[in-house]
Amino acid sequence: MATTANQNLLLGKLRRAVSSSVTGYTTEFSMSNANGHQETGLSYFSISSCGSALGGYTYLWEQTTEGYYLDVANPGSLWKSKIGANNDHFTWGKSVADGILGAPTLAGYSASFAAAAISNANTGTGAEDPFAAGTNNKAVVLSCSYSDDKQADGFNDHATNYHTQVHKSITIVDSYGGSPSCLLEGTPIDMADGTSKNVEDLQIGDWVLSMNMPGQLDEDVDDWRKCTFPNDKTEEFTQHSASVQDINFDFAYNYWNINEGQELITGEHEMLYRPSPVLFPNNQVWGWQVAPNMNVGGTLMDKNGNEVEITSLVSILDKDDGFEVVQVDVEPLDVYFGKTFLVHNKGSDSNPF
């Protein structure tokens, strides 16, 4: 039975969808052939829509790779494995031809794009900071269309946006000297299994120690920076784990040394913080804050949920050579531990910083 009104039920078209590179659709074919002679149904291979835009991050940092995907709706249980995983059904494209964005690495309905380095040779002549991050950002439009074996009259031709280019506008970010949310190279990171790795040695797929925080807002959905936690609510926090999804390498001209080496972190990186009770007696809640806005006497949280007072907070600057830094993105929880304290992820889909 069709899953959507007006769906074409020709078995020949299903053969072309699951096999690809088949000319015509008059050859004998059965439902059992479509799923390796196992019980199956036409609805298993159906979708209702290709979505109106590609999924994935809006911001792609130079010299990094991000994945994008066709956001299909109501896929049958076999659509992804039998149709969606086949490159022959998808046409991926990009609006630039200047080498800043490489050819995609294809995985059917998803693809990953790698951004090259953006040249800063002519950046900001006469400006206060000749290497300001974001000066040479590049706008790019990605596209993808789905049609069974590139045919307009395919098995899923009933689906919205079938055989139609679906787009996503992204920005390749010039991060030179301005990569946000970073830890200095050499920072040890606690892993979920109790071991430790330097941040630059982390691999995508590694599981790091994280914290389950009831009430924390998801960075891809809400403005998580507005989230606060009363003192008594932190008792509900429990150790958890999170998977490393992305790792970016860059450098920064400035970082902050907290408590004589307990944390070495850039000034854009939010940490779980409670203000000084002396300076802010009426604002004793936990929230997300960056080091430049913290005060000695404030409190940070370590991996055991202990409150650690900030006794020293020193800005370190090197305008000539800068410092090697590493940015990490973890999911599904958006938090992990730096050398000592609980920190937040990199920027969200709508804001690279």
The pLDDT-based confidence of 120 (bands split at 50, 70, 90) is low
What pLDDT does residue 96 have? 85
With a cut of 70, say whether residue 219 has pLDDT above it.
Answer: no
CATH topology of domain 182-344: Endonuclease - Pi-scei; Chain A, domain 1 (2.170.16)
Give the angle subtended at the CA of 303 by the CAs of 297 and 304, to the nearest 5°: 90
With a cut of 90, say whether residue 192 has pLDDT above it.
Answer: yes
The share of the chain scoring above pLDDT 90, in percent, equals 45
Q: Where in the chain are the domains?
A: 11-173, 182-344
With a cut of 90, say whether residue 1 has pLDDT above it.
Answer: no
- pTM exceeds cut of 0.75: no
Residue 81 Cα distances to 29, 39, 67, 144, 193, angstroms: 19, 16, 18, 18, 32
Residue-wise pLDDT tens digits, 107-116: 999 999 998 8
CATH architecture of residue range(s) 11-173: Sandwich (2.60)
| Residue 182 region by backbone torsions, left for phi larger than 0, else alpha for psi between -120 and 50, else beta | beta
Q: What is the mean pLDDT of the chain?
A: 82
What pLDDT does residue 176 have? 55
Single-letter residue type at 212 = N
What pLDDT does residue 117 have? 82
What pLDDT does residue 348 have? 46
SS3 73: strand
The values of phi and psi at residue 335, to 5°, are -130, 155
Q: Pick the more confident residue, 228 or 47.
A: 47
The pLDDT-based confidence of 208 (bands split at 50, 70, 90) is very high
SS3 150: helix
Residue-wise pLDDT tens digits, 223-263: 677 788 988 888 889 999 999 988 877 777 788 999 999 99
What pLDDT does residue 131 have? 37
Residue-wise pLDDT tens digits, 121-137: 544 333 334 334 445 77
The pLDDT-based confidence of 5 (bands split at 50, 70, 90) is low
Q: Closest Cα partner for 51 from 153, 146, 155, 149?
A: 146
Residue-wise pLDDT tens digits, 66-104: 889 999 999 999 999 999 999 999 999 999 877 889 899
